[in-house]
Amino acid sequence: MQKRRLGNSGIEVSAIGLGCMRMSFGDAPIGDHQEMVAFIRKAVERGVDFFDTAEVYGPYTNELLVGEALEPFKGQVVIATKFGWDPGSDNRPTPSKPNSKPGRIRQVAEESLRRLRVDAIDLFYQHRPDPEVPIEDVAGTVKELIAEGKVKHFGLSESSAEQIRRAHAVQPVAALQSEYSLWWRTIEAEILPTCEELGIGLVPFSPLGRGYLTGKVDETTTFTDNDIRSRNPRFTKEAILANRGVVDLLGEIANDKSGTPAQIALAWILAQKPWIVPIPGSRKLERLEENLGAGSIELTPNDLLRINDAMSEISVVGSRY
């Protein structure tokens, strides 16, 4: 497995990480707990050493799963988790309301340390910006946690270029997590240049377009009510048909490279910048191995030009949420 550095942070991880959310949260059927523990450990065996979770996934169950699975590899892997949601009246995070007040950040840090079974959180992201808390206060609180040895690195997720700069001025931001893929490239205008200027790594989630870019979704595909795609404008039958050109393009490149559409989509992301580390989610070993195979595919400048030229002629239908 190739390694990459997340900007200037000093964090060195496998070129492709693993998003763990759907192992216990997000849509049905979720994975069996012990099967997912074994799956995560198989990922480590295959060279993956960068894992992504969050307090709100479950809530709590995903951190517990990741903590149990990775406890034997303490010090050998990098675990990223997130704070930033209100605990609610029953002490369960409710993603409808952000909460990055200093006291809440500290509470999440202490609880995440216990659930993840670690001495320090490797990478602690603000899950989403909180309009009621200045980003300087958020960065300052994480700076204190770093000084106390409870957190190693500070991250942001889905933040604007201005928010990134303001936070970075207080506490260096190691990584920004954001959606980024061949069919959602909005961050290229301001976010990517800001990260490059400040030496911040990028960790794209949904690098396979929530599965669409694998080529395994078509207009006959149905989604259960608790699958986020059942409410996603890009997964209506009309949008799936309209966006077919994106998958057809990936398929053409994949045939030339003896790969799969998913591998080409990930290889494209890897080719953008050396400090980008995507975190596709998977729950099946064959999908994991397919994704990891993207690291062996080299897209030439002509390949990248061909992809960009073709994408410039395709208008992606449907907003991302």
Give pLDDT tens digits for 185-201: 999 999 999 999 999 99
Residue 313: how many CB atoms within 10 A of its CB?
8
Residue 176: how many CB atoms within 10 A of its CB?
30
Q: Is pLDDT above 70 for 161?
A: yes
pLDDT attached to residue 108 = 98
Tell me if 46 sits within 8 A of 1, measured CB to CB: yes
Q: What are the backbone angles phi and psi of residue 154, rounded to the nearest 5°? A: -105, 135
The residue ranking higher by pLDDT, 282 or 219, is 282
Q: Is pLDDT above 80 for 321?
A: no
Q: Is pLDDT above 90 for 317?
A: no
Tell me if 230 sits within 8 A of 224, measured CB to CB: yes
Distance CA 84, CA 92 (A): 12
The residue ranking higher by pLDDT, 239 or 163, is 163
Q: Is 125 a catalytic residue?
A: no
pLDDT attached to residue 88 = 80
Sign (positive or negative) of CA dihedral 119, 125, 129, 135: positive
Distance CA 112, CA 184 (A): 31
Task: Give the pLDDT mean for 137-154.
Answer: 98
The active-site residue, picked from 57, 125, 180, 212, is 57
What percentage of the chain reaches a pLDDT higher than 90? 77
| Annotated domain spans of the chain | 3-208+272-297
Q: What is the pLDDT of residues 60-77, one digit of tens each?
A: 999 999 999 999 999 999
Q: Is pLDDT above 90 for 83?
A: yes
Task: Give the pLDDT mean for 124-153.
Answer: 98
304: closest CA among 314, 293, 312, 295? 312
Single-letter amino acid code for the residue at 305: L
Summary mean pLDDT of the chain = 93
Strands 85-86 and 18-19, how do they pair? unpaired
pLDDT attached to residue 90 = 81
Alpha helices in 130-243 (DSSP H): 135-147, 161-170, 191-198, 237-242
Whether omega for the bond prior to residue 280 falls within 30 degrees of 0, making it cis, is no
pLDDT attached to residue 63 = 98
- Homologous superfamily, domain 3-208+272-297: NADP-dependent oxidoreductase domain (3.20.20.100)
Give the Cα-Cα-Cα angle 68, 73, 75 (nearest 5 degrees).
Answer: 120
What's the pLDDT band for 28 if we cut at 50, 70, 90?
low
Q: Is pLDDT above 90 for 84?
A: yes
Q: What is the pLDDT of residues 257-268, one digit of tens each?
A: 999 999 999 999
Q: Is pLDDT above 90 for 80?
A: yes
Distance CA 295, CA 268 (A): 10
Task: Give the pLDDT mean for 287-299.
Answer: 97
Task: Give the pLDDT mean for 23-43.
Answer: 90
What percentage of the chain reaches a pLDDT higher than 70? 99
